[in-house]
Each structure stands twice: as structure tokens, then as C-alpha cells.
């Protein structure tokens, strides 16, 4: 059984729910990005289906929200991801498309993919700091569902491919 019920809807940057649109706009303004209002965007609604396990609850590492939203906005040169939940608050991440890679669970797990109940894509390439001051590449998993989950993955893959061409 999957941990989440997910639905993904295609929209535009200017059509995002208010809290996600404001967070993305703040990121765009702070980083001086060019992301027009008509840029493609996808919103995933994620509803947790079961409680976190005892260890995750005890350590606080489980998902604090029974439901949360994730927006992926694909600009001409950048992808902006915003996450919002009542307990977790709102956060954003930005990545240049030319530095991004996209992986899905089916590709990562090969023959085990039919046993994987969670569908989505990992966006790889977010800059992270590691011990000793070096930098690395972080990833963020975006859970996807019907009706537009496959379109979200295809759109981001196409944008990354075009940016690297």
C-alpha cells in the first residue's frame, strides 16, 4: 500500500494556489530569475494514508502534515519547487535546468518497479554543502499522480534536455 494518495494538475505559474505562487514569486525575485507568469507549472496534492511509524514519530522525522502540496514551475532557464504544509510551512528550491537531472522510481529500481507503490520523479542537482566545505548534488522527490503526473515528468525532462542541448 502506498503511503500517499497523490493527484497532480497542470497549470501555469500565475495559476498556482496563492501560498505556492507567493513563495515561488519570492524565490524568483530574490534570485533575480526570469520566470514568466505563463510558465508551465504542476501542483501535486499529497494526502498521507497512514500514520508514520513509531520511530519516525518519536524522532520527529516523519511527515508532520496529513496533507501537503508541491508545485514545480518550469521557467526558461530554471525550475522552482515549492512545498507547503500546515505544520511544515512553505519552502522553495531553485535549480538551473542545465544542472538538473530527472530520475523516476521505475528507472531507479528496474525490475523492482512494479513493487514500488509510490510514483514520482526525483529532481537531482540542487546544490548542497557537505562536510569540509565541499559541495554536492542533492535531490528532491516529487510525488506525482493522475491526471497530469506523467505530463509533469515529461515536461521537466524535455526542459532539461533542451537546456543541455
Q: Measured in whole angstroms, how far is the alpha carbon of residue 13 from the centre of its chain?
A: 14
What confidence tens digit (pLDDT) does each residue in 39-70 have? 999 999 999 887 766 766 677 667 788 899 99
pTM: 0.87
Cis status, amide bond into 53, omega within 30 of 0: no
φ/ψ of residue 111, rounded to 5: -65, -20
Please enumerate in sequence order all residues whose Cβ is within 8 A of that of 87, keeping only pairs 6 or more positions apart, or say none. Answer: 64, 65
Parent domain of 33: 4-164
- Nine cell digits for residue 28: 524568483
What is the tally of structural domains in the chain? 1
Residue 31 has pLDDT above 90, yes or no: yes
Please enumerate in sequence order all residues whose Cβ is within 8 A of that of 64, keeping only pairs 6 or more positions apart, or say none. Answer: 85, 87, 88
Can you give the CATH number for the domain in which 159 is found? 2.30.29
φ/ψ of residue 65, rounded to 5: -110, 135
Ordered strands of the 120-129 beta sheet: 101-104, 120-129, 135-143
What confidence tens digit (pLDDT) does each residue in 77-121 have? 999 999 999 999 999 999 999 999 998 765 555 555 555 556 899
What confidence tens digit (pLDDT) does each residue in 148-162 have? 999 999 999 999 999
Can you state the percent helix, strand and coil of the chain, rounding each to 5?
35, 40, 25
Say what the pLDDT of residue 133 is.
75
Please enumerate in sequence order all residues whose Cβ is within 8 A of that of 4, keeping only pairs 6 or more positions apart, or say none. Answer: 46, 47, 48, 49, 118, 143
117 in Cβ contact with 2 (< 8 Å)? yes
Locus of grid cell 520523479: 121
Length of the chain in terms of residues written? 165
Amino acid at each position: 500500500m502506498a503511503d500517499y494518495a497523490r493527484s497532480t494538475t497542470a497549470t501555469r505559474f500565475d495559476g498556482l494556489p496563492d501560498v505556492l505562487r507567493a513563495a515561488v514569486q519570492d524565490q524568483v525575485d530574490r534570485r533575480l530569475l526570469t520566470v514568466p507568469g505563463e510558465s508551465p507549472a504542476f501542483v501535486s496534492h499529497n494526502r498521507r494514508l497512514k500514520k508514520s511509524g513509531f520511530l519516525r514519530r518519536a524522532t520527529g522525522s516523519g511527515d508532520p502534515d496529513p496533507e501537503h502540496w508541491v508545485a514545480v514551475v518550469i521557467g526558461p532557464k530554471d525550475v522552482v519547487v515549492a512545498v507547503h504544509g500546515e505544520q511544515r510551512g512553505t519552502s522553495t528550491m531553485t535549480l538551473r535546468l542545465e544542472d538538473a537531472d530527472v530520475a523516476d522510481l521505475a528507472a531507479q529500481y528496474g525490475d523492482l518497479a512494479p513493487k514500488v507503490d509510490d510514483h514520482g520523479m526525483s529532481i537531482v542537482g540542487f546544490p548542497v554543502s557537505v562536510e569540509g566545505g565541499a559541495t554536492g548534488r542533492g535531490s528532491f522527490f516529487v510525488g506525482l499522480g493522475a491526471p497530469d503526473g506523467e505530463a509533469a515528468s515529461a515536461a521537466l525532462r524535455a526542459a532539461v534536455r533542451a537546456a543541455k542541448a
